[in-house]
Amino acid sequence: KPLNIIDFIAILPFWVQILFGNVHCPLAFIRSLRLIRFFRVVKMSKFNSTLQVLGSTLAASTQSVYVLLIYVSLTCTIAGVMFNQIEEHENFSTVPRAAWWVAARMV
């Protein structure tokens, strides 16, 4: 299919750079083909009703999402304080750094 060929040509500069290093030929025009890939995704209007249902569901559950984010942030902060006090590792040297470590592991 033609769109598969466009996809292949769009990612070709990435692989050329990986395999051959910094090549001095202008590959910017090939990189512009990535826009075609983007417009192909935008063209998926047949899923419009599904996206509307997803959007309305997320809009209806914003309060629950806020509560979840508050619980996660409190858990990260409390665990960060505990790790900061107990552990002697450089990842836990400050409370924000320890809380970030916990958040990165939770997600």
In this predicted structure, what is the pLDDT of residue 31? 66
| Nearest alpha carbon to residue 101 among 88, 84, 70 | 84
In this predicted structure, what is the pLDDT of residue 25? 66
- Sites in the chain below the pLDDT cut of 70: 23-28, 30-31, 33, 40-42, 44-47
In this predicted structure, what is the pLDDT of residue 7? 75
Within 8 A by CB and 6+ apart from 33, the residues are: 6, 9, 10
**2 three-state secondary structure:** helix
- What span, in angstroms and rounded, lies between the C-alpha atoms of 85 and 94? 9
In this predicted structure, what is the pLDDT of residue 73? 94
In this predicted structure, what is the pLDDT of residue 23? 67
Task: Enter the tokens of residue 9.
Answer: 């040509």
Q: What is the identity of the amino acid at 78?
A: I
In this predicted structure, what is the pLDDT of residue 79? 94
In this predicted structure, what is the pLDDT of residue 39? 72
- What span, in angstroms and rounded, lies between the C-alpha atoms of 11 and 1? 16
| Nearest alpha carbon to residue 100 among 89, 20, 81 | 81
Contact between 38 and 52 under an 8 Å Cβ cutoff? The reply is no
Q: Give the CA count within 13 Å in the CB-facing half-sphere of 15.
A: 6
pLDDT in tens, 36-46: 777 766 676 66
